[in-house]
Amino acid sequence: MIWMRKKKQYGDDTQGGMGIIAFRYADLQYATKKFSEKLGAGGFGSVFKGSLSDSTAIAVKRLDGVRQGERQFRAEMSSTGVVQHVNLVKLIGFCCQGDRRLLVYEYMPNGSLDHHLFQRNGMVLDWAIRHKITLGVARGLAYLHSSCRGCIIHFDIKPENILLDGSFTPKVADFGMAKVLGRDFSQVVTTMRGTIGYLAPEWISGTAITSKVDVYSYGMVLLEIVSGSRKSSKQASSQDGAHEGYFPVQVARSLVDRDIASLVDAKLLGDVNLEELERVCKVTCWCIQDDELDRPTMTEVVQFLDCLSEVETPPVPRLLQAIAGQPNQKIM
């Protein structure tokens, strides 16, 4: 890792990065106009917009709580602080002054993916942008899992943690739960990490945790990118007494019935590449398989979406077979 102060470099980045700046707290107060423009807030703290002296727009994450803030600070520094990829949010610098912990990231003018998918005042993303996002996020995760010194597992892939730059290039963000593991996964992860609705079944079953938990979460995000609405919970199940409102069930049925066009966000008015949609839906169903061994790696997902390899016919996940009452069926 490189440390830089006032843009003077003190080390060499073995992965080609430009270094990380150590900021003083007073500098970040000035850059953010005393933290006056809040971009968002979460369980670990708040994010504020700022501007450096060279007019570079930044997003400053101010971590709350001494112990919790320290844990997230270390997690993010040990992950985003040592990697660089076009589909990962760039860490510009940090502040570690007294008990204050702040992280400085590149600013993403188009905000987070959830804003455009789920909120009425968001921009309607056309299919080309949605497909670009699915592929970009896959590339970012593949890099984390396979191209770093250790395997970096994000543990909290969801639309809120996918940021969009000025050209809607996606950037995986918020590495507060991330962990660097060895390639053999000999380290045991026991504390559940992530967000309900995106959690892989192995968190409950007790199976060893690997990078395939990110693959599962990614699959759930794909469902929401296709539909344009929150589908990671059983939203409508209470209305009809069954599980009809659980979107993965609808996906399973639509794929079996070869009616994938019915899954697409109505706001797209049917303007979608059906060949790409079919490929994305098949990849989705592989990603949310119950058994992590049945899920593809993120490198394989990239190859599938890039049309570099064919996607085989996936089975309907066993849990969805039981819910949908469609045992032993295959998709397409």
Strands 20-22 and 91-97: parallel
The tens digit of pLDDT for each residue in 23-73 reads 999 999 999 999 999 998 876 789 999 999 999 999 999 988 766 678 778
DSSP 236-253: THHHHSSSTT-HHHHHHH
| pLDDT above 50: residue 310 | yes
User: d(Cα 19, Cα 189) in Å, to the nearest integer?
Assistant: 30
Domain ranges of the chain: 3-106, 113-324
Reported pTM: 0.86
132 marked as part of a ligand binding site: no
User: Which of the residues are catalytic?
Assistant: 156
Q: Do domains 3-106 and 113-324 have the same CATH topology?
A: no
The amino acid present at 326, given as its one-letter code, is Q
d(CA 187, CA 218) in angstroms, rounded, equals 23
Asked if residues 225 and 167 have their Cβ atoms less than 8 Å apart, the reply is no
Return left, alpha or beta for 308; rule: phi > 0 is left, psi -120 to 50 is alpha, else beta. alpha
- What is the pLDDT at residue 120? 85
Q: Tell me which of 3.30.420.40, 3.40.1190.20, 3.40.50.970, 3.30.200.20 is the CATH number of domain 3-106.
A: 3.30.200.20
Residue 181: the pLDDT is 82
**What is the CB neighbour count within 10 angstroms for residue 15?**
13
Average pLDDT of every residue of the chain: 83
| 2 vs 262, more confident | 262
Task: Give the containing element (helix H, strand E) for 79.
Answer: helix 66-79
* Coil/strand/helix, residue 166: coil
- Which CATH entry fits the domain spanning 113-324: 2.40.10.220, 3.40.50.2300, 1.10.3720.10, 1.10.510.10? 1.10.510.10
Q: What is the pLDDT of residues 93-135, one digit of tens each?
A: 999 999 899 999 999 999 999 999 998 888 999 999 999 999 9
To the question of whether residue 174 is assigned a binding role by annotation, the answer is yes
pLDDT at position 9 is 33
